[in-house]
Structures are given as C-alpha cells and as structure tokens.
Amino acid sequence: MTLDPQTVLLMLLAAPVGGLAGWLHFATLARVADLFVAGRLSAVGLQLARLAVLGAFLWLCSRGGAAVLIAGAAGVLAGRAIVMRKGGGWKRP
C-alpha cells in the first residue's frame, strides 16, 4: 500500500492534534469525577463535551482514511500517557 502526499500530511497533522485532544480528554477526567461526587449537574455537561470533542476528532480522522485514523488514535493514546505520567490532569483543591 502506498500513501499519497495528502494522506501523509493528514497523518502528520492528526498525530499531534490527537495528542492534544487526548491530553485534554484525560486531563479533565478527575475534574468530572470530582463534580459527579459533589453532585453537581455541570458534571454531565462537561462529560458530554469531553466525549463530543473526542468523538468529533476521531470521526474527522476517519474521513481521511484508516491511516489518518490510526495516527489520530495514536496521538490520543500519547496524550493519555502524558497525563498518566504526570499523575493526572486536574489538581484537586
């Protein structure tokens, strides 16, 4: 399988954007959990926003083909690894 230059460019864009999306998604997870435990209704909205942003990003990647989707998903996993290595995202007060 050969990749055309446009697909390679999309892959090179999808990976770092996926890293940012993954970092954002997983860094806000502790905040959502804290809001749920506190009984705040805003937790539902934040959770829906987290899922919508990540889902929209992966859907856009899928429109570019399997290689672009894999690059974007790898970026998401890299963002998760960064959050996990640093001990989570949101710092509890």
What pLDDT score was predicted for residue 90?
Answer: 54
CB of 53 closer than 8 Å to CB of 25: yes
Render pLDDT for 79-91 as a digit per residue (tens, 0 to 9): 999 988 876 555 5
Asked if residue 92 has pLDDT above 80, the reply is no
Ramachandran assignment for 4, one of left (phi > 0), alpha (psi -120 to 50 degrees), beta (any other): beta
Render pLDDT for 45-57 as a digit per residue (tens, 0 to 9): 999 999 999 999 9
Count of CB atoms within 10 A of residue 29's CB?
17
What pLDDT score was predicted for residue 77?
Answer: 96
The model's pTM: 0.85
